[in-house]
Structure 1
C-alpha cells in the first residue's frame, strides 16, 4: 500500500481548514470533496483537479466539522457559532438549522442508513441524535463518569465531547472526550454500554473499520493511535510514530490501511495488519486537521486539510 501525491491547492480557504469529508456520487454527478474552514465557509471541490464547485455560507463563526449523508444529496456543517446547518449539496438551500447552546457542537456524523445525525455535544458531556426525516431531536446520550471517579474529581469535569463515530451497521455509537476516555453506546436503545480506556489526553477523532464492525480506531493528543475491540472492551493494538497530537484518523474502504493527520504537520499511512506506519507525507506546512478516504470504488483517494489553508489529494493503492 502506498500514497502518491496527486494535487495540492494553496489558499483553498481564507483561514485554517479544519474539516474534510467526501460527498458520495449521485445519479447525476461524481463524488465531491467537502471542506470546512475557520473562514466561516464550506466549499465543494471536484476531484481530481480540486476545482472549486461552490461556496456555502450561513455560519457566523468557523466551521469545525462537516458530514455527508450517504445519499450524496445532503450534507451538514457544525460551527463554533453553536449551529448545525443542514443543506442540499447541489442547490445550497438550507434544509434545517439545528441549534445548541454555546460550545455544544463539535463533530458530527450521519449514520450509515442516513436516518440519524449524531452531534458531539461539547461541554454538555453528551451526544445528540437528530432524526433526519423530521430534524427533531431524537435522543441525548449522556456520558457517565468512569468507574472509580467521584463527582468532585477534576477528571469528571473533562467530559467535553470532541468526536463521534457510527459502526458500519449503525448499531453502535462511539465518542471521544477531552479526558481521553472513549464511550460506546447502543444506538437503537440509546443505552451506554462501556468505556474504552488507554488514552490520557483528548481523543479528537475516531472511526470504525468498514470491514470489521467491532474494530475502532482512535487518535489522541497523546500522539498514539489505538485499536480497540469496541464490543469486547479491549485494547488490541497501539501505534506510535507521530511527534505531536493526532488530530484525525480514517480507514480505507478495503479496511487494510489507516490514515492519520497530526499537529506535527504530517499525514501518515499505517498498515493495520502490521500495526506500523509505512509512509509519511510532509507536504503540509502546518497542523493537519483532517484526513478522509473516498468511500467505495477505485482508484482510491485520500484528502487532507490543514491550518496552512491548503488541501492535498493523494492516490491510494
Structure 2
C-alpha cells in the first residue's frame, strides 16, 4: 500500500485550514471535499482536481469542524463562535443554526437516526473534589459503523464509550496521557477503534472488549487527526510535526511519511466508496499552511 501525491492547492483558504471531510456522492454528483478554516469560511472542492465549487460564510470566528450526513445531502460546520450551521450541500441553504454554549464544538459526526446529549462520567478512582474529572472537555467523537456505540475522546486522555440508543455510558478506554484529538472506527470491524493523541501515539483498541491492542509510535509531535481507509487495511494520520503518515494495520507500523505541508496537519480524510466512475482511493490533508493536498491511495 502507498500514497502518491496527486495535487496540492496553495492558499486554498485565507487562513489555517483545521477541518476536512468528504461529502458522500449522490445520484447527481460525485463525492465532494468539504473544508473549514480559521478564515470563518467553509468550502467545497471537486474530488480529483480540487476545483472550488462553493464557499459558505455565516460564522463569526474560525471553523474548527465539518461533518457530512451519510446521505450526502446535508452537512454541518462548527465554529469557535459556539454555533453549528447545518446546510444543504448542493444549494448552500441554511437548514438550522444550533447554539452550543458555553464552549466550542471541536468535532462533530452525523448519526442518521437521532440526536441526544450525553454526560461524560469521571474515571474510577478520581475523587469527587477533583475538578479535572467533572464536565470533561471532549475533543473528538466517532460513531461505530454499525451505528450503535459512540466513542468520545477527552482532553484528559480518556476515551468514553456509550450505547447511544439507551443513552448509557458503557466504559472508559485508557492508555493516552494527553488529549485525544481524533477518533475513527474501522469500517470493516465495529469493535476496532483508532485514536490520535497529543502524546504523539496512535492507539488501536478493541472498544467492546475494553482492551488496547496496539500503541503505535512514529510521529515526533501531537497527532491531530486519524482516518481509516475504506478497505480497512490502513489508517492515515496528520500531525503537528507537519507530516502525513500511512500505517499498515497488519504490520501495525508506519510504512510511508509524506511532507507536502510546511505547517501542522490538522485533518486527514479518506474519500468514502461510492459514486459512478469514481475511484475510492483518495486521501486529503489540510494544514495551518492554508493548503490542501490530495493523494492517490493504492
1:220 equivalent in alignment to 2:220: no
Match of 2:7 in 1: 7
1:150 correspondence with 2:127:
yes
Residues 125-204 of structure 1: pairs in structure 2 closer than 5 A: 130=115, 139-153=116-130, 155-157=132-134, 159-204=136-181
Q: 1:205 deviation in Å?
A: 0.2
Aligned partner of 2:289 in structure 1 is 308
Alignment pair present for 1:32 and 2:9:
no
CA RMSD of aligned residues (A): 1.0
Equivalence for 1:286: 263
What residue number does 1:86 align with? 86
Query: 1:239-250, aligned counterparts within 5 Å?
Result: 239-250=216-227
Which residue of 1 is the match for residue 113 of structure 2? 115
Instruction: Provide the rounded CA distance (Å) in 2 between the counterparts of 1:251 and 1:299.
Output: 13
Give the drift of 1:151: 2.1
Partner Cα separation in structure 1 for residue 262 and residue 234 of structure 2:
24
The total of aligned residue pairs comes to 294
Q: Distance in 2 between matches of 1:202 and 1:43?
A: 28
Shift of 1:106: 1.7
> Which whole-Å CA distance do the structure 2 matches of 1:211 and 1:271 have between them?
15
| Unpaired runs of at least 5, structure 2 | none
Question: Corresponding residue for 1:272?
Answer: 249
Does residue 259 (structure 1) correspond to residue 236 (structure 2)? The answer is: yes
Given the two structures, how large is their TM-score scaled by the length of structure 2? 0.97
| Structure 1 runs of 4+ with >4 Å offset | none
Which of structures 1 and 2 has the larger relative contact order (alpha carbons within 8 angstroms, sep 6+)? 2
1:244-279 deviation per Cα after TM superposition (whole angstroms, max 9, x unaligned): 000000000000000000000000000011100000
Aligned to 1:22: 22
| Residue pair 2:122, 2:134 contacting (<8 A) in 1 also | no
Normalised by the length of structure 1, the TM-score is: 0.91
Residues in 2 aligned to 1:268 and 1:105: alpha-carbon distance in whole angstroms: 26
Contact 1:81/1:102 (<8 A) preserved: no
Corresponding residue of 1:73: 73
Note if contact 2:65-2:105 (Cα within 8 Å) is conserved in structure 1: no
Alpha-carbon distance between aligned partners in 2 of 1:90 and 1:143, rounded to the nearest angstrom: 36
